[in-house]
Amino acid sequence: MARINSPEKLEKARQEILSRRKPDAPCISICAGAGCLAFGASEVIDAFKAEVEKQGLTVDVDIKKTGCPGFCERGPVVVIFPEEICYLQVKPQDVPEIVSQTIKEKKIVERLLYVDPTTDEKAIHESDIPFYKNQQRNIICDNIKIDSKILDDYLAIGGYEALSKVLFQMSADDVLAEVKASQLRGRGGAGFPVWRKWEGTRNSPGEIKYLVVNADEGDPGAFMDRALLEGNPHSILEGLIIGAHTIGSNEGYFYVRQEYPLAMENLGIAIRQAKEYGLLGKDILGSGFDFNVEVHRGAGAFVCGEETALLRSLEGKPGEPTPRPPYPAVKGLWEKPTNINNVETWANIPLIINKGGAAFASTGTEGSKGTKIFSLVGKITNTGLVEVPMGITLNDIIYKIGGGIPGGKKFKAVQTGGPSGGCIPAEQLNLEVGFDELTKAGSMMGSGGMIVLDEDTCMVDVARYFIDFLTEESCGKCVPCREGLRQMHTILTRITRGEGREGDIELLEVLAETAKEASLCALGKSAPNPFLSTLRYFRDEYDAHIKEKRCPALSCKELISYYIEPDKCQACMICLKKCPVDAIEGGKKKIHVIIQEKCTNCGECFEACPSKFGAIKKLSGEPVPPPIPEAERTFVKKSKEK
Amino acid sequence: MSEVILQIDGKEVSATEGMTVLQAARSAGIFIPTLCYHEKLEPFAGCRLCIVEAEASGESRLIVSCVSAVEKDLVIKTRSERVDRIRKTLLELLLAHAPDSPKLQDLAVEYGADKNRFEKDASFCVHCGLCVRYCAEVVKKNAVGFVGRGTKKEICFVPEIASVECNDCKECFPLCPTSYLQAAFVLTEALAFPNTSSEPDSE
Ligand SMILES: Cc1cc2nc3c(=O)[nH]c(=O)nc-3n(C[C@H](O)[C@H](O)[C@H](O)COP(=O)(O)O)c2cc1C
Ligand code: SF4
Ligand code: FES
């Protein structure tokens, strides 16, 4: 491809690409995101290629390896265009049937469709599946339409149109005004207004300015940025170049999480192709504007996602936060003004330019506009990535999109905002999702993690778990975080072990205050959230652990006992064989008894006991009834006597 | 450099632009406790003891004085209930590591800090980084550095450098608020210094 050196030529190139494509010809899109690849998407892709060739359809059918559409749990996901037929959990052996039935005969392969678990209704199109139907997929929707390794695919859906507009039809002030009108706030955590940061960096004195894409995505379980990097890297790149032109920067950096090899690969390809096409590098689209990017692999620590630590790491120094002010916009990378935004933030930019800031701002709440991608995981029926309009209620995300809590369990709380976010209880399920709304509820937006917890979860243990993570990830520089979190973890651990003391809550509170008020960076400042939010909504659980040595959720190992109810035991020997420490006495036709002294509370028996018997009970805060006398242990099958 | 007038503990203080609140306070003879600050070194802002309350346009917030620049009309309180409570907690956290540090003990008396409040982990180093930074920034030898990260971070002499440089310098020794630095040096000397002459020097 020759370099494109004018907006007209870009349009011409786009028309050429489109003219080569037959809009009605079948296109088999197979997700090649990390999730689906783990479920064997590569084999499915190979099978499609072989089968299409075997049935002599190569010229008529397009096969596309695409980015992640979010429903990873049901992967590999296959969507057949133009009808948008969606098949889930496709295996290589399903492929011949799909090709001969759906591609050739236009018939549906029923068994591969999504089935609604409550209504048993099947959904043919992607957009009929409740998981998708209730989302508003403005950004992630393109993932399934393009092969991210092919720039033509991105151009075919209007890619780089926004950039062309910015370079040739808009002034930097116009762009800034549009971003301001969109009211877009950063998607990486703090939710800072994007236009203000851009303007700040633009107005900072200095010839050299840098741009950075924060692609460190350190929250455990979060993968929205990965999905965009793998599935649509050009959208991020386009946003970045627009930002560069607006702010006045000629050099940008991607800081990509260490564990994202596929993202690195796809991003590398995207950058190379954009350069070849003249969309990146010198004299972009013939506008005279130069912009280069480099990709940097992250140092691997969670705190390296914090902007000052990230910049130090880019400079080759230890990835430790440095005091702000000075803010990066004034003194950032190598002491030059630097604008750093998150992956998803950048990906929103082309959209804002194409549709206009006002249109963008028409979705959302007072303070939060547009859509946000969440990673929905935990005790929820449909896990995956969901893109929703700001202002949607937690209830709608969890029940309409997520399909509710599996196993007939009760919802308890949803943990949002990553490890240093907070837990929001059932009473607040009507909360509208937005930056300020979540903060007010004692949690935060963070980068969009959402972990659903059910009634079996102990909230004290949840706090302990996240504080443990954060203690491990503290960079160790400042005292309130390094020492304060370590002590908080010690205290929370002893509470969950039934060794909590009078005064522990007050001790935790003072440590939380100290970390929140006195820490150097936002890791330490927000780290007490898991404790503070669980204390706010679930104080009774703390009291039960400390005062009664009882875990109300029957989850803390040190505070529970397992007990076999004699009248329910069917003497089936299943649990007895499962017990790893031979703590269960009994035999065929002999009611089983757990020897409490031997039991290690591993819970194997509880899991093993057939649910129709349900003979094993967890007890907490009450004495275990004495074992039934030997003489009464003979099992008598209850006949249906009347 | 223009002059900035601010108020510290009710006293009008004149400072020059670009000064930190800590420097302005010191220049006016007002004491703010510090642990990781050293006038010859780049600010580190790790101990957070120098935290003070700052009021500007009616809003009160906590700032760390060793890295916060003076601003016009800033009203600083170097002590308040909140500041004292935080300093006390910080001291108690540090005392869990170094219960015998004279510097910490003195401050503990002032702030009523209880050295037994938190579970002890007597590792002695309080991670103020004075030795590491002094050696890097002033002496420029990097004979002592941090190893590990987070709660597992430790200071460590680099035997190859320390064996050559330290005996004639030891300028960092008096900076350490605990006795750990000397102990670490003696230990490194005994265990890891490359074998030169095994004759101890007579002094
Ligand atoms: C401990 C910590 C980790 C962070 N990790 C990330 C991250 O992985 N990705 C990210 O975009 N922002 C992360 N941030 C937020 C960044 O500091 C910064 O606010 C963000 O990159 C700014 O971009 P935005 O304005 O587009 O959100 C983290 C912050 C903290 C305190
Ligand atoms: S708050 Fe924690 S992570 Fe941030 S600088 Fe302090 S010790 Fe490091
Ligand atoms: S003296 Fe300011 S943080 Fe240590």
Task: Give residue A642's pLDDT band: very low, low, confident or very high (50, 70, 90).
Answer: very low
Of A476, A478, A517, the CB nearest to B86: A517
Atom of ligand 3 nearest to the CA of B46: 3
Task: Give residue A352's pLDDT band: very low, low, confident or very high (50, 70, 90).
Answer: very high
pLDDT tens-place string over residues A371-401: 999 999 999 999 999 999 999 999 999 999 9
Mutate to test the interface with B, among A313, A472, A477, A501 (most CBs of B within 10 A): A477
The token pair at A242 is 């627009």
Residue A476 CB–ligand 2 contact under 6 Å? yes
CB contact under 8 A, B151 and A520: no
What is the model's pLDDT at position A119?
84
What separation in Å is there between the alpha carbon of B193 and the centre of ligand 2? 33
3-state secondary structure A536-602: HHHHHHHHHHHHCCCCCCCCCHHHEEEEECCCCCCCCCHHHHHCCCCCEEEECCEEEEECCCCCCCC
Where is A450: in which H helix or E strand? strand A449-454
Statement: residue A297 has pLDDT above 90? yes
CA dist list (Å): A527 to A45, A341, A524, B84: 43, 22, 5, 22
Indicate which ligand has the atom closest to the C-alpha of B36. 3
Chain A: give the shortest CA distance to residue B177, in Å: 15
CA distance linking residue A534 with residue A544, whole number of Å: 14
Interface confidence, given as ipTM, is 0.91
User: In chain A, what percentage of residues exceed pLDDT 70?
Assistant: 99
Statement: residue B105 has pLDDT above 60? yes
Atom of ligand 2 nearest to the CA of A473: 3
Give the chain B residue whose CA is nearest to the CA of A318: B149
Q: Which residue in this structure is represented by tokens 């005996």?
A: B167
Statement: residue A84 has pLDDT above 80? yes
Residues B136 and B185 in one domain: yes
Statement: residue A641 has pLDDT above 50? no
DSSP-derived pairing of the beta strands A616-620 and B3-8: unpaired
Task: Give residue A413's pLDDT band: very low, low, confident or very high (50, 70, 90).
Answer: very high
What is the model's pLDDT at position B203?
39
Q: Which residues of B touch A325 (CB under 8 A)?
A: 69
Q: Name the domain count of chain B.
A: 3
Residues B118 and B147 in one domain: no
CA distance linking residue B173 with residue B167, whole number of Å: 11
Give the chain B residue whose CA is nearest to the CA of A511: B89
Statement: residue B8 has pLDDT above 80? yes
CATH of residue B11's domain is 3.10.20.740
Asked whether residue B54 is domain-assigned, the answer is yes
Chain A interface residues facing chain B, Cβ-Cβ under 8 Å?
Answer: 301, 318, 323, 325, 471-480, 482-484, 486-487, 490, 507, 510-511, 513-514, 517-520
Residues B84 and B108 in one domain: yes
Give the chain A residue whose CA is nearest to the CA of B62: A517
Asked whether residue B100 is domain-assigned, the answer is yes
CB contact under 8 A, B45 and A487: no
Asked whether residue B200 is domain-assigned, the answer is no
Q: Which residues of B touch A477 (CB under 8 A)?
A: 44, 46, 127
What is the model's pLDDT at position B202?
43
What is the model's pLDDT at position B1?
66
Give the chain A residue whose CA is nearest to the CA of B18: A326
Residues B97 and B118 in one domain: yes
Q: Which residue owns the Cα nearest ligand 2 atom 1?
A: A524
Mutate to test the interface with A, among B34, B86, B89, B125 (most CBs of A within 10 A): B89
Residues B10 and B54 in one domain: yes
* Cα-based angle B37, B38, B39 (whole degrees, multiple of 5): 125
Atom of ligand 2 nearest to the CA of A515: 1
CB contact under 8 A, A520 and B152: no
What is the model's pLDDT at position A638?
66
What is the model's pLDDT at position A447?
87
Of A482, A487, A513, the CB nearest to B118: A487
- Mean pLDDT estimate for chain B: 90
Residues having CB closer than 6 A to ligand 1 are A 186-190, 192, 214, 216-218, 302-303, 305-307, 340-342, 345, 447, 521-523
CB contact under 8 A, B45 and A520: yes
Judge if the upstream peptide bond of residue A76 is cis by omega within 30 degrees of 0.
yes
Give the chain B residue whose CA is nearest to the CA of A485: B151
Asked whether residue B44 is domain-assigned, the answer is yes
CA distance linking residue B37 with residue A108, whole number of Å: 72
Statement: residue B34 has pLDDT above 70? yes
Residues B10 and B65 in one domain: yes
What is the model's pLDDT at position A583?
94
Residues B87 and B74 in one domain: no
Mean pLDDT, range A9-29, rounded to an integer: 91
Of B44, B86, B146, the CB nearest to A518: B86
CB contact under 8 A, B51 and A473: no
Of A323, A477, A487, the CB nearest to B119: A487
DSSP letters along B89-125, please?
HHHHHHHTT-TT-HHHHHHHHHHT--TTSS-------
CA distance linking residue A516 with residue A160, whole number of Å: 43
Among the listed residues B46, B53, B48, the one whose alpha carbon sits nearest the alpha carbon of residue B81: B53
CA distance linking residue A448 with residue A224, whole number of Å: 8
> Coil, strand or helix: which one is B201?
coil
Residues B25 and B73 in one domain: yes
Atom of ligand 2 nearest to the CA of A477: 7
Asked whether residue B201 is domain-assigned, the answer is no
Higher pLDDT, A436 or B195: A436
Atom of ligand 1 nearest to the CA of A344: 26
Residues B99 and B63 in one domain: no
Mean pLDDT, range A245-272, rounded to an integer: 96
Question: CB-based burial of residue B24 (10 Å sphere; 0-12 exposed, 13-18 middle, 19+ buried)?
Answer: buried
Residues B23 and B58 in one domain: yes
Of A475, A477, A511, the CB nearest to B89: A511
Indicate which ligand has the atom closest to the C-alpha of A318. 2
CB contact under 8 A, B46 and A325: no
CA distance linking residue A326 with residue A310, whole number of Å: 15
Q: Which residues of B touch A471 (CB under 8 A)?
A: 150-151
pTM: 0.92
Chain A: give the shortest CA distance to residue B139, in Å: 19
Task: Give residue A635's pLDDT band: very low, low, confident or very high (50, 70, 90).
Answer: confident
The token pair at A618 is 């967890």
Query: Phi-psi category of B124—alpha, beta or left, where left has phi over 0 and alpha has psi -120 to 50?
Result: left
pLDDT tens-place string over residues A426-463: 999 999 999 999 999 999 999 899 999 999 999 999 99
For residue B29, what are the domain limits? 3-78
Asked whether residue B203 is domain-assigned, the answer is no
Asked whether residue B101 is domain-assigned, the answer is yes
- The last residue of a domain, from among B122, B151, B177: B122
pLDDT tens-place string over residues A472-516: 999 999 999 999 999 999 999 999 999 999 999 999 999 999 999
Pocket test for ligand 2, best of A303, A420, A487, A516 (most atoms within 8 A of CB): A303
Residues B95 and B114 in one domain: yes
Domains of chain A: 7-142 (3.40.30.10), 159-361 (3.40.50.11540), 371-457 (3.10.20.600), 460-547 (1.20.1440.230), 560-632 (3.30.70.20)
Task: Give residue A34's pLDDT band: very low, low, confident or very high (50, 70, 90).
Answer: confident
What is the model's pLDDT at position A640?
47
The token pair at A633 is 């242990």
Of B51, B146, B149, the CB nearest to A301: B149
Q: Which residues of A touch B151 (CB under 8 A)?
A: 471-472, 474, 476, 482, 486
What is the model's pLDDT at position A308?
96
CB contact under 8 A, B47 and A484: no
Pocket test for ligand 1, best of A184, A223, A307, A324 (most atoms within 8 A of CB): A307
Give CA torsion, residues A576, A578, A580, A584, to 10 deg.
Answer: -10
Q: How many CB pairs under 8 A join A and B?
A: 88
Q: Which residues of B touch A330 (CB under 8 A)?
A: none
**Residue B130 contacts residue B175 (beta carbons within 8 Å):** yes
Mean pLDDT, range A77-103, rounded to an integer: 93
Residues B143 and B175 in one domain: yes
CB contact under 8 A, A476 and B149: yes
- Mean pLDDT estimate for chain A: 94
Residue A301 CB–ligand 2 contact under 6 Å? no
Mean pLDDT, range B95-117, rounded to an integer: 93
What is the model's pLDDT at position B196?
58
Asked whether residue B202 is domain-assigned, the answer is no
Task: Give residue A300's pLDDT band: very low, low, confident or very high (50, 70, 90).
Answer: confident
What is the model's pLDDT at position A406?
93
CB contact under 8 A, A487 and B153: no
